[in-house]
Structure 1
Amino acid sequence: MIKRFLDIVVSALGLIFLAPVLGITAWQIRRKLGSPVFFRQTRPGKGGTPFEMIKFRTMLDAVAKNGNPLPDDQRITSFGQFLRSTSLDELPELWNVLKGDMSLVGPRPLLMEYLPLYSSEQYRRHNVRPGVTGWAQVNGRNALSWDEKFRMDVWYVDNQSFWLDMKILFLTVLKVVKRDGISQDGKATMTKFGGNDS
C-alpha cells in the first residue's frame, strides 16, 4: 500500500511539475522526428497482463525496400540518442505509473514476444508491477547480459522494500547524470532476447 501510495503521489507531482519539460520535449520531437510524438507499445505488466506503455519517440520511421524497419542503429538520430541517454524518453511512463500499469521501481517491462521464452525462474520478474527504473537499471542497465538482468530482476522481487526502492531511485538519478549503461557495446540499444538456448 505504501509503494502504491508513493507511486501515485510522485507520478502525479512529476507530471505537474515536469509539464514544461514534457511540452518542450514533445515540441522538439515533432520538429526533429515528425509525428507521432509518442511511442506506444503493448508490454507485459504484473502477472504478464498486457498494457500499453507510452514513451517519447526516439527513432525515425525509416524502412528498407522490403518495407521492414531498418535496424535501430540506422533509425536512431543524435537527438534520439540524447533523449535516451538523459532518460527524457521515459518521462511519459509516469502516466502508466499513475494509472497503475507500472510502478516507479520494478523490473523493466520488456516485449510480449519474450513471455514464452522465459524459464519459470525468469518469469517471476512478473510477480510485481514493472518499473520505470529497477535494480538492473542501476547495476548496468542495457550493458548487462540478459542472464544478469533477469537474475537482478528476480532478486528485486524477492528483496523489495521501501528503503530498497529509495536507494534505487537515488542511484537512478546518479546513473542518468553519468549516462551509464545506455547500450551494449556496438549496439544502439540492446540485442533481442532469443531464449535461454541462444
Structure 2
Amino acid sequence: MKRAFDFLASLMALILLSPIIAIVSYKIRKNLGSPVLFRQQRPGKDGKPFQMVKFRTMKDAVDKDGNALPDAERMTDFGNKLRNTSLDELPELLNVLKGEMSLVGPRPLLMQYLPLYTAEQAKRHEVRPGVTGWAQINGRNAISWEGKFKLDVWYIDNQSFALDIKILFRTVKKVLFKEDISASDHVTMPEFKGSNSEK
C-alpha cells in the first residue's frame, strides 16, 4: 500500500508541479548556471547506494587549491530561498517514482556516515529514505544528530499509513511557515562524526 501510494502521489505531484519545476529550473540556470540539478550518492534501504537528485542551491566556488569553499561561502540568497521553501527537494519525487525513496521515511544522509551509526541508529535504513519524515516535522535541522536519530528510530518502530499522512500534512505546514530550516549558525547540519563525538 505504501509503495502504491508513493508511486501514484509522486507521479501526480510531478505532473501538477511541472510548471513550478520548469520555472525553478530556469531561475537556477539564470542565477547559478549549469548544472541545474545536484546529484549525490546516498544510502537507501539496507544501506544500498542510489543517486539522490535535488535542485542545486550553491554556486561553484573553490579556494586557490581547487577545493570547494565552505557551504556558508557558496550559498547565495537565491539558494537560501529555495531551501527555505523546500523547492530544492522537488526533484526527489523522481527518486520516489523509481522506488529509491519514499515520500515519508528517515532522510537519506551521507554514505560516509554508515560505519558511524550505533546498532540502534542503523535501524533507520530498514525502510526506504524519505523526502520528509518524523524528524523533519519535529525539529528538522534545529535538533542534534542524536535527537534526529531517535526520532527516525521511533518512526521505524511505529510506522503506519495513518502516520505517514499525518507527517505529510504537517510537512506542508512546516514549509508554509518556514519552521526549523537550519541548525543554529550552520547553513546546513554540521558533519556527523559519531555518537561519541557529541557527548
Q: Once the 2 structures are TM-superposed, how far is the Cα of residue 196 of structure 1 from its aligned partner?
A: 1.4
CA drift of 1:144 comes to: 0.8
TM superposition score normalised by structure 1: 0.99
**Which letter maps to 2:167?**
I
Amino acid paired to 1:68? N
Cα distance in 2 for residues equivalent to 1:107 and 1:144: 14
> Match of 2:50?
51
- After TM superposition, list the pairs within 5 Å mapping 1:86-125 onto structure 2: 86-125=85-124
Shift of 1:68: 1.1
Q: Percent identity over the alignment? A: 64
The answer for unaligned runs of 5 or more in structure 1 is none
Match of 1:7 in 2: 6
Letter in 2 for 1:187: H
1: distance between equivalents of 2:42 and 2:26?
26
Q: SS in structure 2 opposite 1:23?
A: helix
**Aligned-partner Cα distance in 1 for 2:9–2:90:** 12
Q: Trace 1:22-101 onto structure 2 (pairs within 5 A).
A: 22-101=21-100
Matched, 1:196 2:160: no
Given residue 171 of structure 2, which amino acid in structure 1 is its aligned partner? T
**Structure 1 CA distance for aligned equivalents of residues 169 and 18 of structure 2:** 22
Alignment partner of 2:26: what SS? helix
Q: Secondary structure at the match of 1:123?
A: helix
- Cα deviation for residue 64 of structure 1 reads 1.0
Shift of residue 101 of structure 1? 0.1
CA distance in 2 between partners of 1:17 and 1:177 (Å):
18
Deviations 1:161-183 (A, max 9, x none): 01100100000000001111111
In structure 2, the gaps of 5 or more residues are: none
Cα distance between partner residues in 2 of 1:26 and 1:179: 22
- Letter aligned with residue 119 of structure 2: S
- For 2:139, the equivalent position in structure 1 comes to 140
Secondary structure class of the residue paired with 1:193: coil
RMSD: 0.5
Matched position secondary structure for 2:195: coil
3-state SS, counterpart of residue 120 of structure 1: coil
Equivalent-residue separation in structure 2 for 1:140 and 1:151 (angstroms): 12
How many equivalent pairs are there?
A: 197
Q: Secondary structure at the match of 1:42?
A: strand
Distance 2:86 2:106 in 1: 16
Q: Larger deviation: 96-105 or 180-189?
A: 180-189
1:55-97 deviation per Cα after TM superposition (whole angstroms, max 9, x unaligned): 0000001011121111111101010000001000000000000
Dislocated runs of 4+, deviation >2 Å:
none
